[in-house]
Each structure stands twice: as structure tokens, then as C-alpha cells.
Amino acid sequence: SQQGEEDPQALSIQEGENATMNCSYKTSINNLQWYRQNSGRGLVHLILIRSNEREKHSGRLRVTLDTSKKSSSLLITASRAADTASYFCAPVNDYKLSFGAGTTVTVRA
Amino acid sequence: EAGVAQSPRYKIIEKRQSVAFWCNPISGHATLYWYQQILGQGPKLLIQFQNNGVVDDSQLPKDRFSAERLKGVDSTLKIQPAKLEDSAVYLCASSLAAGGANTGELFFGEGSRLTVL
């Protein structure tokens, strides 16, 4: 199964700033999902974007998908301390969903 | 709605001992996943069940790991004998269904942290 590769590996921003992270994958997908993991906790689903969608919003989150480039991006606007976490993309091909190493985001007060 | 329940939360064992983890998915969820997450890495799928049948166990080290999902509800993951490199968090997740574009969001438990000494 393929997995997403997130970039950058780590990101440190000031509260109120925007955070952008990218995901690349290798084969065709049915959909792509983003998850957040706070330290010592399980993963929490953030957003799902289908292969025929190009952009999706959910609160302060904006996800884009470019299937021609096999890439996706997650933008968190007006970041808060509570956004400090690891973020994982998960491309879905058929029934298989795999995770990359993630982007660790630190939001400084 | 109750979430995915996992136990125990923490377990410390000596190498070559055995350990078992239990997961109770969200009621009505057909698909159940076990992931292994080593510190600093992303979760790696060990096994995926659809009801009580195995969909994917290609990354499960079958010489020491086993998993079952009796009656298509809760599941047990066992490691016997454990090695040092099995130290990780074992995450259980469930979803309503899996298949093509219908593979929707996964709901994760808090995980079981295993330390092998």
C-alpha cells in the first residue's frame, strides 16, 4: 500500500500565524484524509477530500488536492497553542489507508 | 456515542514474554484496524478486518503476532514472544465501512503503549 510523505518534518510558528504542510503520494487515490495526533493520544480525523475535489474547508482548515501532481496541502489559519500536534496525511487507494511520518507543528505563544 | 476502547493503556514486559491487547470498536463499525506506531514514526498498518474476516495482514509479523476478531466485534492482538523492537504504541481504529471511495474516516482509540525490556 502507498503512504503519504509529509513535508516539512517539523514546523514552528507563532500563535496567530498560518501553518502549511504538504503531502505527496505515488499512485491513484480514491480519497485523501488528514489526521491530527496530540502527544500521547490517538489520531483524530480532520478532513477527507475525494479525488474529484480540488479544495475543501472545515473551520480554520483548508485542504487542497492536485491529483495531476499527486499532492495535497493542509493549511491551518490563525493558529492556536492547541494546534500543537503531529499532522498526518493518508492517501486511500481502494480500501487501504496508510500514514507517513507526519509533520510536527509547534505553535509558540 | 462511545469511542474506540483499548486496554491496557500501558504494559511493560521482558523480552520473550507474551502480551495481549484488546480493542472494542464503535458499535456498528464493520472495519477494524490495528496499527503499530514506533516513537517518532507514523502508524503502520498491521492488520485490517472487515467484520470478522481479514482484509489485509501483509505487514503483520506472523511468526510472533496474531490477531482475531471474533463475532465481528471486539478484537485481540497478541505478541508472543516479544522482542525489544516491538516497543511501540498499538493503536486500534474502526470505521463504518471500507472499499473504494467509501473508505471514510477512521476513529482511533487512545492506544496501548508497550515497553519491552
Residue-level pLDDT, tens digit, chain B, 117 residues:
689 999 999 999 999 999 999 999 999 898 999 999 999 999 999 999 988 899 899 999 999 999 999 888 999 999 999 999 999 999 999 998 765 546 789 999 999 999 999
| CA nearest to B48 within chain A | A96
Domain B5-98+105-116, classified CATH 2.60.40.10, yes or no: yes
Q: Touching check for A44 and chain B: CB below 8 Å?
A: yes
- Contacts of B97-103 with C-beta under 8 Å, sequence gap 24+, read B97/B30, B97/B31, B98/A95, B98/B30, B98/B31, B98/B48, B98/B50, B98/B55, B99/A94, B99/A95, B100/A30, B100/A94, B100/A95, B101/A30, B101/A31, B101/A50, B101/A51, B103/A30, B103/A31, B103/A92, B103/A94, B103/A95, B103/A96, B103/A97
Between A42, A92, A100, which is nearest B110 by CB?
A42
| CA nearest to A5 within chain B | B42
What pLDDT score does B24 carry? 97
Cβ contacts of B4 on chain A, cutoff 8 Å: 42
Span of A7-11, A70-74, B49-53 with lowest mean pLDDT: B49-53
What pLDDT score does B70 carry? 82
What pLDDT score does B54 carry? 92
Cβ contacts of B56 on chain A, cutoff 8 Å: 1, 95-96
Cβ contacts of B109 on chain A, cutoff 8 Å: 42
| Of A93 and A50, the one with more pLDDT | A50
For chain A, list the domains and their CATH numbers: 5-108 (2.60.40.10)
* Domains in chain B: boundaries: 5-98+105-116
Q: How does pLDDT run across B42-61, given as a tens digit for each residue?
A: 999 999 998 889 989 999 99
